[in-house]
Amino acid sequence: MDTLANVAHGFGVALMPINLLYCFIGVFIGTLVGVLPGIGPISAMSLLLPVTLSGTPESGIIMMAGIYYGSMYGGSTTSILVNIPGEAASVVTCIDGHQMAKQGRAGPALGIAAFGSFIAGTFALVALMLVAPKLASIAIAFGPAEYFSLMVLGLVVLTFLTQGSMAKALLMACIGVVLGLVGLDSITAQPRLTFGRMELIDGIGLVPVVMGLFGVAEVLLNTEQVIRRDIINTKITHLLPNRADWQASAGPLTRGTMLGFLLGILPGGGAVISSFASYALEKRLSKTPERFGNGAIEGVAGPEAANNAAAGGAFIPLMTLGIPPNVVMALLLGAFVIHGLQPGPLLITQNPGLFWGIVASMYIGNVMLLVLNLPMIGMWVQLLKLPYNVLFPLIILFTILGVYCSSNNVFDVYVMIAFGVVGYFMRKLGYEPAPLVLAFVLGPMLENNLRKSLILSHGDLWTFVQRPISAACLALALALLIAPLLPALRKKRELVALDEEA
């Protein structure tokens, strides 16, 4: 009952007019930057950090948090409409979301993404209130060995993302790992595969790779088709998900939320892994897995729910231990500190008004986001009615701007163009970009944690089996790999062969 009193207190704080205003500004800016690919919450938050200094700590942090989860809502928009994932977590949304848009079902795709985000976000908050302190231990139970095994599991799950040949997907994954390792070695500070270029010391940026492989390559592929001048079917049947859509999405939403929340607690990579783990899970469970990749709404609902629930879960290590699990949370930590607060084990007891106020404001912010986003779906869908010969130069301009803004570096624009060309040839030869991107994100973590665990265990490989969490991840990975591999390989090759004959 203590919790109830706290929640009431929190809503008291959050419903103060000034805090409502800050909350609205936050989610509004968040939606804006979320829609613009490349300009992520990080740049918006670091720009606005000084602005928040003038208000009370509550209002400042409410606004910063609003930008964060607001951008999570917007992130799926460009993935669905024009196949440009703004961040790694939206890569999976591209696979089926953009196919849906091509079939004239952009409305339901955007709708289920918005509702899914809302449901998952709300659930994550309830869980955050009820179990936050208890779950803090999960965040620190994961050491290098556990992370390594989790990454192995993640890479195995990758193989479910592909529709074509398994060998090609695995080759792409390896290339992704290698690309991810470019730059200074995080352990010895030795430059790797940088070819003497200063810009590569910091590694290849995720945003240019993703925008090149998805956004630019998609444009190149589309423009070579003379018949499909209107790439997107202009017959738009309805704007919101219908009953059948909801029935198909209910299960994926629930499972995605649970998966996302639990993985979100883990510092580093939780949101990304959860979104594609959810996709893989739904594909496995589906009676008609062949629909995935061709516009299955489950493939949008599950990952979107997972990545928003992960955003909620990410608050747990920050609020309870003062450990920010990602860069955005680190900025939020900065906001706390500038306002004279120290997030850590004592935060909730020392500043109950602040903690519960922020959580309550996130409920309100989620409602605001839904109200803000649903009418916009109509607007976005109208955008697709633009003839493609007008739309594609705009897409190219936006990718260039997005890439430049993500790093303020012209070199990244070159990288994006290069990956656009490579991505075009990859797609022509039947190689898919999704495994490459996800391995690109997971690869460096895999490598770093492998080396750290070997240093810690003094070279003893048994450490991965002796530690229970690690062993469980590896066992699951092995089971996933062995069980479906043999029949799947055969079936998939036939599918590819059929495609080629046609």
Partner 1 sequence: MSQCRRTIMLAAIGVLLSVAAGAQEYPTKPITLIVPWPAGGSTDISMRAIADSASKVLGQPIVIDNKAGGSGTVGPATMAAAAKPDGYTIAQIPITVFRLPLMQEVSWDPAKDFTYIIHLTGYTFGVTTSAESQFKTWKDVVDFAKQNPGKVTYATPGAGTSLHIGMEQIAAMAGIKLTQVPFKGGAETNAAVLGQHTMLQADSTGWRPLVDAGKLRLLMVWTAARSPNYPDVPTLKELGYPMVYDSPFGVAGPKGMDPKIVAKLHDAFKKAIEDPAVVATLAKYDMVPNYRNTEDYKKLVVEITESERKIIERLGLAKKTN
Partner 2 sequence: MRSGGNAKPRLNNSELWGGLIGLALGGFVIWSGLKLKLGTINDPGSGYVLFYTGILMCVFATAIIVAAIAEGGPTLASRWENARWTKPALIIACLIAFSLALEPLGFLLSSIPLMLLLLRLIDPVRWSLAIPIAVLVPLGMWWVLKRLLLIQLPSGAFGIG
Q: Which residues bind partner 1 (CB under 8 A)?
A: 42, 46, 49-50, 53, 139-144, 183-184, 186-190, 198-199, 201-203, 267, 317, 321-325, 327, 329-334, 337-338, 340, 342-347, 408, 448, 452, 455-456, 458
Q: What is the 3-state secondary structure (H, E, C) of 388-405?
A: HHHHHHHHHHHHHHHHHH
Closer Cβ to partner 2, 187 or 479, answer by number: 187
Angle (deg, nearest 10), helices 57-82 and 41-52 = 160
Query: Long-range contacts: 178-186, Cβ < 8 Å, 24+?
Result: 178/443, 179/204, 179/209, 179/436, 179/440, 179/443, 180/204, 180/439, 180/440, 180/441, 180/442, 180/443, 180/444, 181/443, 181/444, 181/447, 186/444, 186/448
* Residue whose C-alpha is closest to residue 204's, from 214, 194, 196: 194
State which of residues 240, 388, 471, 488 lies at the interface with partner 2 (CB under 8 A). Answer: 388
Question: What's the closest the beta carbon of residue 366 comes to partner 1, in angstroms?
Answer: 24
The interface partner of residue 144, options being partner 2, partner 1, none and the CB cut-off 5 to 8 Å by kind, is partner 1
Closer Cβ to partner 2, 9 or 168, answer by number: 168
Closer Cβ to partner 1, 184 or 370, answer by number: 184
Stretch that binds partner 2, among 4-12, 88-96, 213-221, 294-302 (CB under 8 A): 213-221
C-alpha distance from residue 411 to each of 202, 416, 418, 438 (Å)? 12, 9, 11, 22
Counting residues that bind partner 2 (by CB under 8 A) gives 69
Question: What's the closest the beta carbon of residue 124 comes to partner 1, in angstroms?
Answer: 21
Spell out the alpha helix ranges (H) of 314-408.
Answer: 315-321, 327-338, 347-350, 352-383, 388-407
State which of residues 2, 54, 188, 462 lies at the interface with partner 2 (CB under 8 A). Answer: 188
**Residue 191 three-state SS:** strand
In whole angstroms, give the CA distance from residue 186 to residue 202. 10
| Residue 226 interacts with partner 2 (CB under 8 A): yes or no | yes
- What DSSP state is assigned to residue 488? H
State which of residues 1, 4, 429, 482 lies at the interface with partner 2 (CB under 8 A). Answer: 429
Closer Cβ to partner 1, 343 or 365, answer by number: 343
Degrees, nearest 5: CA angle 142-335-310: 40
In whole angstroms, give the CA distance from residue 502 to residue 496. 10
Question: What's the closest the beta carbon of residue 29 comes to partner 1, in angstroms?
Answer: 17
CA torsion 433→439→444→446, rounded to 10°? Answer: 180
| Residue 390 interacts with partner 2 (CB under 8 A): yes or no | yes
Closer Cβ to partner 1, 267 or 293, answer by number: 267
Spell out the alpha helix ranges (H) of 89-165.
Answer: 91-102, 106-141, 144-158
Are 302 and 281 within 8 A, CB to CB?
Answer: yes
Closer Cβ to partner 1, 199 or 230, answer by number: 199
Residue 350 C-beta-side C-alpha neighbours within 13 Å: 10
State which of residues 458, 482, 486, 487 lies at the interface with partner 2 (CB under 8 A). Answer: 458
In whole angstroms, give the CA distance from residue 341 to residue 319. 11
Question: What's the closest the beta carbon of residue 397 comes to partner 1, in angstroms?
Answer: 22
Closer Cβ to partner 1, 14 or 323, answer by number: 323
The total number of residues written for the chain in this structure:
502
Of 281-320, binders to partner 2 (CB under 8 A) are none
Question: What's the closest the beta carbon of residue 69 comes to partner 2, in angstroms?
Answer: 20
Closer Cβ to partner 1, 458 or 490, answer by number: 458
Stretch that binds partner 2, among 60-68, 136-144, 367-375, 453-461 (CB under 8 A): 453-461
Of 38-67, binders to partner 2 (CB under 8 A) are 39, 43-44, 47
Work out whether the CA dihedral 197, 202, 204, 208 comes out positive or negative.
negative
Question: What's the closest the beta carbon of residue 79 comes to partner 2, in angstroms?
Answer: 20
In whole angstroms, give the CA distance from residue 70 to residue 132. 22
State which of residues 18, 130, 193, 485 lies at the interface with partner 2 (CB under 8 A). Answer: 193
In whole angstroms, give the CA distance from residue 377 to residue 356. 32
**Residues near partner 2 (CB under 8 A):** 39, 43-44, 47, 165, 167-168, 170-171, 174-175, 177-178, 181, 185, 187-188, 190, 192-193, 216, 219-221, 223-226, 229, 387-390, 392-394, 396-397, 400-401, 404-405, 408, 410, 413-414, 417, 420-421, 424, 428-431, 446-447, 450-451, 454-455, 457-461, 493, 497, 500-501
